[in-house]
Structure 1
Amino acid sequence: MRGAASAGPEEDAGVARPPAEGGVPARLSRFGNIYVLILLVAINIVNYADRTLISVLAPAIQRELSLSDTQVGAITGLAFALTYGMAGLMIARWADRYGHARVLVTAVAVWSVMCLLTAHVRSFAQLFIVRLGLGIGESGAAPASLALIHGGFSTRARPIAFAIFSAGTTVGIGAGVALGGWLGSEYGWRKTMALMAIPGLLLALLFAATVRQPAAAVTRRSGAGGSVLSVISGIATDPLRRSLTCAYACASFAYAGFAQWAPTFYMRDHGMSMREVGATYSVTSSGGALFGILLGGIVGGRTLARNPALALRLCGVLALCAAAASASAFLVADRSLSLLLFALFGVAAGATYAPTIAMFQEHSPASTLAFANAAMLLVAVILGQGFGPFSIGLASDMLHDGGVGTPLAMALVIASASLLFSAGFQFAASRAMRRKSAVPQTEI
C-alpha cells in the first residue's frame, strides 16, 4: 500500500487529478494518502469510541434517569439508527457532489458536539433527542471515509487499506469501553461524555487544515452519477451487491447488539465491575476483532485478487464460526472461558469485514460511491444498530418477565442466530460472483 507519487506542482500543493478507472491513486494531501488513511483511522476510532461509550456507562445512566432495558435499547439503537439511516443517504449524496473531505469534517464536528451535549441531559426524552443528533453527525463519516480510501489507493491495496481503517472500529469500541469504565468510575458518566467529545473536535480541525480533496475529482462528481432511485435500484437488482448488503446487515445486528449489551452481561452475570469490564472485556473482545480484521484484509485481499468467489465462501464459513463462538460465550459459566470465546467470535466475525466492503465497492460506480456506501450502511444500521440493541433489550425484559433466570444471556444467544443468516447471504454472494466471473472457481 502506498500513496500516489507526486506528478507535478498542483499535486504538491494538495490538488491532484482524480484516480483513473482501474485504481491509480490520487493525492489527497501534501503529506500523501497514507497520512490521510492515518487520520481516517483516528477519526474512525473516535467515532466508535463515542458511539460505544454509552454501553459501559448504561448502568449508571439507567440508575440516575430510571430507565428500563427497553429504553436503553431504544436510546442506543433506534434513536441513533433513525437519523443515521435517513440523514446518511442525503449527506452521502452531498459528499459525492461537493467533496467527501468537506462532509467528513462537518460530520466529525457535529457528532462531537452531540457527545458533549449528552453530558447535560436530564431525562429519557432529552437523551433520545441528543442521540438523534449523534446519528446525524456519524451518518456522514463512514461513506465519505470509504470513498476517500477507494479514490486514494490502488485496487490491490484497497482491501488492506479497508482493513486498517476497519481496525479503527474495533479499537474504538475497545477504547470506548476501556475509557468509559475508567473515566466513568473516576469522574462519573457526565464528565466522561464531556471529555470524550474533545478528541473529535481536535481531529476535525486537523483534517480541515491539512487535507483537501482533489478539486478535479469534486468537479467530476458534481455532474456525474445517477438518481437516488437508480443507485438504490442498481444495488437491489444486483445479486452480488444485494447479497453482500444483506450479509453485512445481518452481521451488524449481532455486532451492534453485542457491543451495547455484552459489557452489561459481564457485569450482571459474571459480577464484573465497571473498571474490570474496561480492563479485561475491552482488551479480549477488541483484540480478537482487531486481529480478525487485519487478517481478513491481508488474506482476504489476496484471495479476492485470485478467486473472489472463494473469498466470499470463506466469509460464510467464518460467519458460521462466529455464531457458534458467540452463543457459547454467553452460555458458559466460567468467566475466563467466556471471554476467550468472545475473542474468538471477534476474530471470525472481523475477518469478514474487509472482503465484504472491498467487493461491494469494486462493483459500485465511482461517481456515486459514497451514496452506494451509504445505502449499504443504511440497511446495516436500521437492522443492526437500530434493532440489534433494541431487540436484545426488549427480549431481555420479556424473558425476565417470563421467569428466565439469566434473561440477558439468553437474549444475546438468540441474537447470535443473525450470524447464521449472514453466512447464508455470504454463500449467495459467492454464487453470484461465480456467475459473473468467467474464471472457474475452486470449491471448498
Structure 2
Amino acid sequence: MFGLTFALLLSDYMSRQALNAVFPFLKEEWALSDSRLAALNSVVALVVGLLTFPLSLLADRWGRVRSLVLMATTWSIATLLCALAADYGQLLGARVLTGVGEAAYGSVGIAVVLGMFSPHHRASLSGAFMAGGSFGSVIGVALGGVIAVQLSWRWSFAAMAIFGLLLAVLFRVFVSQAKVDRYQRGDTTATGGETTTGAGYRAPVSSLFSVAAVNCAYIGSGLQLFAAAVLLAWTPSFLNRYYAMPPDRAGAVAAVLVLVIGAGMIFCGLVTDRLSHERPTRRWTTAVSYGLLAAVLLIVGFNLDVSGLQLVLVGAGAFFSAGASGPAAAMVANLTHDSIRATGFGSLTLVNSLLGMALGPFVVGVLADRLGLLAALRLAPLAYVGAIVALLIGKRCYPAGLARLAKLDQRLST
C-alpha cells in the first residue's frame, strides 16, 4: 500500500514539476516573461490550495481509495493535454486541470498511510511520504529536461502522463478499501499525548480550526515551504542564467538539489521521532531548528558570488528547507480526529499550497522581473521568520490543544 501510494505521489510531482525543466523552451518559443512562466507553475498549487479541503472532505465520505484512483487518472489526462497545448492559454488551462486532479492526493494518501502504522512513527512516515514530492520533482525535472532536449518539450509532458495512467491502473487492480480497512491502526492513549479513536461517529469539521496549536502548525508548515518551493521551481533557471548551463544539464543538477530536499525531509522526520518519542513537544522544537538552519544557509549562500561554495551552501540549506514538513504533519495528525483526518491533512495542504507552493514561485517570478532572479532568490528565505514565530506559538498552545481534542473524543463517544 505504501509503495503504490508513494509511486503515485512520484507521478503527481513528476507531472507538476516537469514544467520547470522546459521553462527555457517555452520562454523562447512563446516569448514568455518570467511572471507568466511562474503563473504556469503557481496555478497548479493555487488550484490545489483552493480545492484540497472540499475534495479531502468528499474523500472522507465517498471512499479514500476510489478517490485516489480518480485523482491520478485526472492529473494524468491533464498532463497529456499539456503536451497537446497550442498556445499559452491552452497550456494554462491544462495546468489548472492538473491542479484539480492533484488537489487532495497528498492529504488523502497520507491519511491512508498513517492509519496503517503506529502513531509514534508519524513524523518519519510523514517526512518519507511527503519527500515523494521532492523525489518526483527530481525525476520530473531531470527526465523532463532530457526528453525536451532529445525530442521536444511536448514529449516531456506526454511521458509523465503515460506513467501516471499506468500507475492508476495498477493501484486500481491491487488496492481496495476493504484491504485498507483490514490493516487500519487506531490511535492509542500514550505518554506521547495521542488520542483514542472510537468508531461510528464523525467529529465536526469546525474542530480542524478551533485549536490554536493546529492552526499554528498549518501556518508554520506553509511558510517553511515558501523557500523550498522556490528552489523547486527556479533552480533550473538559476543555473541556466548564472552558471551558463544548458537546459538538460541545469535540469540534472537541479534534480540533485531537489533530491537533497527529499533526503532532508526523511532525515528530519527520523530525527524528530527519535527525539520526541517521550516528549512530543520536541516536535515543535525540531521544526523550529530546521527552519532556522535553512534560513541562515540559504541567505548566506545566495549572497555569495557564483562559485562551488555557493552551490554547497545552497544545497545545505535545501537539505533543511522542508525539514519541518514531517513534524508539522505529525502535529496535525495528533491534533485532529481520525474520522476527519484526511480533511485535516487537506487543510494542511491548503495552507502549504497557498503560503508555500503557490506563493513562493510566483512572488519570486514577479520580483525577478523587477530585480533580477538572483536578487529575488536572496529575499525568499525571509519567509522562515514567519514560520518560526508560528511554530513557537504552536508549541506553547500544544498541551491545551491535546486536552481539547481528548474532550471532543470523549463527548462524541458518549
Q: Give the TM-score normalised by structure 1.
A: 0.83
Match of 2:173 in 1: 209
Q: Which residue of 2 aligns with 1:130?
A: 94
Offset of residue 51 of structure 1: 1.0
Alignment partners' CA distance in 2, 1:391 and 1:437: 36
Q: Which residue of 2 aligns with 1:160?
A: 124
70 and 211 in structure 1: CA distance in 2 versus 1, 3 angstrom threshold: same
- Unaligned segments of structure 2, at least 5 residues: 183-196, 404-414
Q: Number of aligned pairs?
A: 389
The one-character-per-residue Cα deviations of 1:107-126 (angstroms, maximum 9, x if unpaired) are 01110111111011122211
- Report the secondary structure of 1:128's partner residue: helix
Q: Equivalents in 2 of 1:354, 1:193: separation in Å? A: 29
For 2:124 and 2:295, the matched residues in 1 are separated by: 25
Find the counterpart in structure 2 of residue 313 from structure 1. 285
CA RMSD of aligned residues (A): 2.2
1:31 equivalent in structure 2: none
In the TM superposition, what is the alpha-carbon distance from 1:216 to its structure 2 partner? 9.5
1:317-349 per-residue CA deviation (whole Å, 9 max, x = no partner) reads 210110122223322223322221222112212
User: Which residue of structure 1 aligns with residue 393 of structure 2?
Assistant: 428
The question of 1:255 aligning with 2:228 is answered: yes
Q: For residue 333 of structure 1, give the secondary structure of its aligned residue in structure 2.
A: coil
- Runs of 4+ residues deviating >4 angstroms: 215-218, 220-224, 434-438
Deviation at 1:81, TM superposition (A): 3.2
Task: Report the Cα offset of residue 215 of structure 1.
Answer: 7.9
2:3 is the counterpart of 1:56: no
1:239 correspondence with 2:203: no
Q: Does 1:101 align with 2:100?
A: no
Which segment is superposed worse, 208-217 or 252-261?
A: 208-217
> Does the 8 Å CA contact 2:231/2:318 hold for their aligned counterparts?
no
Cα–Cα, structure 1 residues 427 and 62, in superposed 2: closer, same or farther, change >3 Å?
same
1:346 and 1:67 map into 2 onto residues whose CA distance is 28
Aligned with residue 182 of structure 1, among 131, 139, 146: 146
Distance 1:289 1:83, change over 3 A: closer
Structure 1: stretches of 5+ with no match in the other structure: 1-35, 400-406, 439-444
1:273 is the counterpart of 2:273: no
Letter matched to residue 160 of structure 2: M
Q: Does structure 1 conserve the Cα–Cα contact (< 8 Å) formed by 2:291 and 2:323?
A: no
Shift of 1:236: 3.1
- Deviation (angstroms), 1:435: 5.3
Aligned residue identity for 1:196: M
1:13-412 superposed matches below 5 A: 36-77=1-42, 79-214=43-178, 224-226=201-203, 230-231=204-205, 233-283=206-256, 285-399=257-371, 407-412=372-377
Distance 1:161 1:344 in 2: 22
Kindly, what percent of the aligned residue pairs are identical?
A: 28
TM (norm. structure 2) is 0.88
Matching residue's letter, 1:193: F
**Contact 1:281/1:339, CA 8 A, preserved across alignment:** no
- The Cα shift of 1:145 comes to 0.4
1:243–1:425: 8 Å Cα contact kept in structure 2? yes
After superposition, the Cα gap between the structure-2 partners of 1:222 and 1:314, relative to the gap in structure 1 and judged at 3 Å, is closer
Change (3 A) 1:350 1:64: same
CA deviation vs aligned residue, 1:118-148 (integer Å, no higher than 9, x gap): 0111222111111110000001211110110
Whether the 8 Å CA contact 1:96–1:221 is kept in 2: the answer is no
Paired with 1:164 and 1:82, the residues of 2 have a C-alpha distance of: 24
